[in-house]
RNA sequence: GGCCUCAUCGUCUAAUGGUUAGGACACCAGGUUUUCAUCCUGGCAAUAGGGGUUCGAUUCCCCUUGAGGCUACCA
């Protein structure tokens, strides 16, 4: 059996789109599931849209997302573009002479022809066609040029393009692995430009030539390519090549059901990473947009995805890119994650929030100037991990740990229908109790035990003591429990914050 | 306009001729907890419409409607 090879073939136009990420993921999973190859190819045939640095960026993000490809293009440590695997680097702009050769072959064999029509003529032709409610299509004028006329025009250096000569009769039929049988009448297919006047191929030609030369077995790409697939099949036929299998993927949509676009929100993978989504969570989320495992499982590691993925689970309808569920998935991953890893990811956000700064191997709390280590930050992160949805929230949610003065309304200290006096008294009781406690006993389970005893001894309700204490330590309506916080804060700060609260009342 | 495609809860989706149309997110309620979150329990909520085929249609066929994509010397 033929080796399975898929390719991800983005254009370097700026950033990696989440829709492209999903395409890349499916290509990757399909290849890996079948023990095949996953190739990265850069489709940079449009010089006008090329964005400097986007290839390097693309390679970096793919790498960060864990979608490892074994052939094509990569970047070295200096960001220079290099070959990856045994072949490459696959950049279409560097393969111009290859396309030229194949275009010449097509012309030679009568499957393509020179077209010298000016932009003005084409525009006018299309305008008239639309006025007559016809489909705008090339009228085939240059098909009738004689050999001599062509040579004369070429000699005069007249700008030209090369067009595919599409038969007027018959139809193209193929079986898409997702959409099933697709049949299109040849007469509705335009004589597509396959080589532009600047000598660059268009997508259609470059795509077919490269997929053939790179022995791609399955072309997995977005649904927007479905209508042009017949052109590609015609091209394979003209070359006498066997066409690969095609699998088109339903589109990702804006909330108004139009094709997902930048105008209506974040679409760049980088944006989501910046917002504090984990790569695994993002991958898991886009996996489920258009594919289902036929079971009720929803959380998959990359390895599990590889094991489970198949094209038959891909559905046909487009799906709205709604990040509500991404938040939930991200939370699941955060809770499952190794604390060291999580902390490493959180540190930049703490620095960005101006809570801490890095000093060599240690960190300084900006507010107090205290020096803390990674282990301490880990404890802080552990406090919050249960309620975290995005890493980016961490700065806001642990601010109270790193601030010396808390800013809150004193009414917040009052639990249910307590009086101010009672709250004050209870805080005073806690203060006295903790004052005599050894620093070493400032551990959450011990503190719980001690304060529970205090509650019982004084015949109080737990909330009457715990709530004011928690607010005194955090100044917040919602937060982790007071004992874990007290442990992280340490004796001195705890006492100071209780005192501050008592004075406030 | 032409061509192509699609259509199940608000959202992501399951059910490919027989189910009280299932799950998840979100939302609501209850429980656990000093609070928020987590966790547990429960609730709300869908087959676009009309014709066929069939004993029986979410499922097969046709029409209508709606939505999207393509229609470039962009990919």
Inform me whether the pLDDT recorded for A99 exceeds 90. Answer: yes
pLDDT surpassing 90 at residue A85: no
- Percent of chain A's residues with pLDDT above 70: 100
Average pLDDT over residues A164-169: 95
Mean pLDDT of A109-115: 97
Confidence of residue A77 (pLDDT cuts 50, 70, 90): confident
Whether residue A235 is found in the same domain as residue A99: yes
Average pLDDT over residues A280-309: 96
The number of distinct structural domains making up chain A is 4
Per-residue pLDDT, A72 = 85
Contact between A157 and A138 (Cβ < 8 Å): no
If we measure between CA atoms, which residue out of A149, A152, A148, A124 comes closest to residue A138? A124
Give, as one character, the DSSP assignment of residue A7.
E
What is the 3-state composition of chain A as percent helix, strand, coil, each rounded to the nearest 5?
50, 15, 35
Query: pLDDT tier at A440 (50, 70, 90 boundaries)?
Result: confident
Same domain, A243 and A296: no
Name the nucleotide nearest A397; use CA and C1': B36
pLDDT of residue A276: 93
- What is the rounded average pLDDT for all residues in chain A? 94
- Which 8-state DSSP code applies to residue A83? E
pLDDT at A134: 85
Our measurement of CA A180 to C1' B54, in angstroms, reads 26
Distance, Å, A316 CA → B16 C1' = 14
Which of residues A201, A217, A249 is at a domain's end?
Answer: A249
Q: Which of A210, A229, A249 is the last residue of a domain?
A: A249
Res A170 pLDDT > 90? yes
Q: Which residues of A are catalytic?
A: 262
In three-state form (DSSP H/G/I as H, E/B as E, the rest C), the secondary structure along A399-459 is HHHHCCCCCCCHHHHCCCCCCHHHHHHHHHHHHHHHHCCCHHHCCHHHHHHHHHHHHHHCC
CA atom of A275 to C1′ atom of B10, Å: 24
In a domain, A451, yes or no: yes
Look up the domain containing A140 and give its range. 95-249
Kindly state whether residues A36 and A101 are assigned to the same domain. no
Per-residue pLDDT, A265: 83
Q: In this prediction, what percent of chain A has a pLDDT beyond 90?
A: 90
A332 within a domain of the structure (yes/no)? no
Same domain, A118 and A228: yes
Residue A409's Cβ-side half-sphere holds a number of Cα atoms within 13 Å equal to: 4
Strand B contact nucleotides, protein CB < 7 Å: 1-8, 10-16, 22-26, 33-39, 67-75
Per-residue pLDDT, averaged over A313-322, amounts to 96
Looking at residue A439, its pLDDT comes to: 87
CATH of the domain at A259: 3.40.50.620
Task: Give yes or no: residues A37 and A165 share one domain.
Answer: no
How confident is the model over A224-277, as pLDDT tens digits?
999 999 999 999 999 999 999 999 999 999 999 999 988 888 899 999 999 999
Nearest protein residue to the C1' atom of B8, measured from CA: A317
Is residue A113 domain-shared with residue A88, that is, in the same domain? no
- φ/ψ of A265, rounded to 5, equals 140, -175
What is the model's pLDDT at position A501?
A: 96
pLDDT band of residue A363 (cuts 50, 70, 90) is: very high
Average pLDDT over residues A21-27: 98
pLDDT tens by residue, A55-66: 999 999 999 999
The nucleotide closest to A255 (CA, C1' atoms): B11
Q: Report, as an integer, the average pLDDT of A471-487.
A: 95
Tell me the average pLDDT across A390-411.
93
pLDDT at A427: 96
Question: Average pLDDT in the A81-103 region?
Answer: 88
Q: What is the CATH number of the domain that holds A364?
A: 1.10.8.70
* Residue A369 shares a structural domain with residue A391: yes
Mean pLDDT confidence for A288-313: 96
Residue A329 placed within a domain: no
* Separation in Å: B51 C1' and A205 CA: 46
Same-domain check for residues A233 and A348: no
Three-state SS letters, A127-188: HHHHHCCCCCCCCCHHHHCCHHHHHHHHHCCCCCEEEECCCCCCEEEEEECCCEEEEEEHHH
Same domain, A184 and A57: no
- In which band, very low, low, confident or very high, does the pLDDT at A76 lie, cut at 50, 70 and 90? confident
**What angle (nearest 5°) sits at the alpha carbon of residue A200, between those of residues A100 and A52?**
140
Kindly state whether residues A301 and A357 are assigned to the same domain.
no
pLDDT surpassing 80 at residue A86: no
pLDDT grade for A404, boundaries at 50, 70 and 90? confident
Q: Is residue A259 part of a domain?
A: yes
Does A277 lie in the same domain as A206? no
Give the residue from A208, A223, A249 where a domain finishes: A249
- Position A132 scores a pLDDT of 86
Nearest nucleotide (C1') to the CA of residue A185? Answer: B3
CA of A3 to C1' of B60 (A): 36
Distance from CA of residue A333 to its chain's centroid?
16
pTM of the model: 0.94
Q: Are residues A29 and A138 in the same domain?
A: no
Give a yes or no: residue A272 inside a domain. yes
Please name the nucleotide lying closest to A335, CA to C1': B38
């Amino acid at each position: 059996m033929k080796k399975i090879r898929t390719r991800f073939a983005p254009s370097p136009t700026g950033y990696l789109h989440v829709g492209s990420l999903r395409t890349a993921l499916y290509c990757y999973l399909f290849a890996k599931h079948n023990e095949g190859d996953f190739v990265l190819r850069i489709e940079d045939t449009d010089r006008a849209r090329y964005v400097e640095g986007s290839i390097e960026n693309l390679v970096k993000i793919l790498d960060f997302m864990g979608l490892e490809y074994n052939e094509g293009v990569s970047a070295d440590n200096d960001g220079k573009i290099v070959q990856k695997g045994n072949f490459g680097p696959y950049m279409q702009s560097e393969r111009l002479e290859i396309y030229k050769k194949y275009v010449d072959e097509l012309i030679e064999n009568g499957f393509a022809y020179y077209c010298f029509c000016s932009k003005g003529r084409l525009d006018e032709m299309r305008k008239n066609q639309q006025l007559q409610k016809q489909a705008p299509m090339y009228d085939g004028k240059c098909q009738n040029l004689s050999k001599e006329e062509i040579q004369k025009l070429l000699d005069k250096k007249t700008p030209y393009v090369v067009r595919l000569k599409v038969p007027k009769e018959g139809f193209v039929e193929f079986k898409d692995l997702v959409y099933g049988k697709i049949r299109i009448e040849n007469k509705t297919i335009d004589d597509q430009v396959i080589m532009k006047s600047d000598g660059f191929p268009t997508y259609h030609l470059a795509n077919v030539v490269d997929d053939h030369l790179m022995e791609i077995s399955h072309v997995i790409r977005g649904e927007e390519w479905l209508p042009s697939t017949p052109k590609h099949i015609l091209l394979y036929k003209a070359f006498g090549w066997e066409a690969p299998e095609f699998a088109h993927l339903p589109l990702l949509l804006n909330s108004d059901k139009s094709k997902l676009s930048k105008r209506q929100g974040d679409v760049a993978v980088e944006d989501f990473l910046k917002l504090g989504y984990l790569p695994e969570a993002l991958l898991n989320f886009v996996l489920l947009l258009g594919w289902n495992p036929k079971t009720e499982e929803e959380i998959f590691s990359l390895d599990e995805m590889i094991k489970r993925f198949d094209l038959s689970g891909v559905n046909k309808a487009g799906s709205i890119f709604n990040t509500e569920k991404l938040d939930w998935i991200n939370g699941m991953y955060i809770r499952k994650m190794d604390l060291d890893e999580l902390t490493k990811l959180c540190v930049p956000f703490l620095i960005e929030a101006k809570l801490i700064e890095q000093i060599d191997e240690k960190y300084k709390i900006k507010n107090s100037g205290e020096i803390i280590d990674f282990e301490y930050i880990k404890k802080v992160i552990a406090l919050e991990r249960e309620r975290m949805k995005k890493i980016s929230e961490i700065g806001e949610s642990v601010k109270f740990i790193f601030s010396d003065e808390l800013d809150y309304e004193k009414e917040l200290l009052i639990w249910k229908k307590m009086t101010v006096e009672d709250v004050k008294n209870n805080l005073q009781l806690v203060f006295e109790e903790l004052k005599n406690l050894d620093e070493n006993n400032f551990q959450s389970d011990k503190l719980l035990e001690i304060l529970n005893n205090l509650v019982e001894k004084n015949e109080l309700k737990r909330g009457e003591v715990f709530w004011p204490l928690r607010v005194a330590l955090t100044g917040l309506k919602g937060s982790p429990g007071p004992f874990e916080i007290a442990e992280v804060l340490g004796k001195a700060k705890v006492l100071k914050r209780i005192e501050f609260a008592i004075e406030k009342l």
